[in-house]
């Protein structure tokens, strides 16, 4: 078992499903990505510097860092932005896998 497997296994049951879905999307959309456990959270890295980290919190699941994009990107991602370069997906709402795919694909293409 990896640190990421342990992190997901320790999450509440409903959150485990969401974390697993995010993990699968990131690995699919970042084809050369490698999994890492950094800053106390799972990540899919493109290289030593760039990647997407994901974490669960009591009220939401978050992705970090999410850099600003063009108008089309921001129209989709903007409603989920938090104060920092992150997005938050409330546990009370369905997980928008299409938005997560857009974010991951944009990062993969960027690098």
Q: Which two tokens stand for residue 21?
A: 């879905």
Look up residue 1 and give its two tokens: 């078992």
Q: Are 109 and 102 in contact (CB under 8 A)?
A: no
Report the pLDDT averaged over residues 64-90.
92
* Chain segment 10-48, per-residue pLDDT in tens: 999 989 999 999 999 999 999 889 999 999 999 999 877
Structure-block tokens of residue 102: 């857009």
Say what the pTM is. 0.91
Beta-carbon-side half-sphere exposure of residue 27 (alpha carbons within 13 Å): 10
Confidence of residue 49 (pLDDT cuts 50, 70, 90): confident
Report domain 3-110's class. Answer: alpha beta
Give the tokens for residue 30: 């970042």
Strand order in the sheet with 60-64: 34-38, 41-45, 51-56, 60-64, 87-90
Mean pLDDT over the full length of the chain? 92
* Closest by CA position to 26, among listed 48, 8, 43, 49: 43
């Amino acid at each position: 078992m990896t640190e990421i497997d342990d992190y997901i296994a320790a999450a509440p049951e409903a959150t485990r499903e969401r974390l697993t879905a995010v993990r699968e999307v990131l690995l699919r959309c970042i084809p050369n990505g490698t999994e890492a456990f950094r800053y106390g959270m799972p990540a899919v890295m493109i290289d030593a510097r760039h990647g997407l980290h994901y974490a669960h919190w009591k009220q939401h699941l978050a992705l970090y860092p999410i850099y600003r994009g063009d108008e089309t990107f921001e129209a989709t991602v903007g409603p989920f932005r938090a104060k920092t370069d992150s997005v938050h997906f409330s546990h009370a709402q369905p997980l928008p896998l299409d938005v997560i795919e857009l974010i991951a694909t944009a990062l993969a293409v960027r690098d």
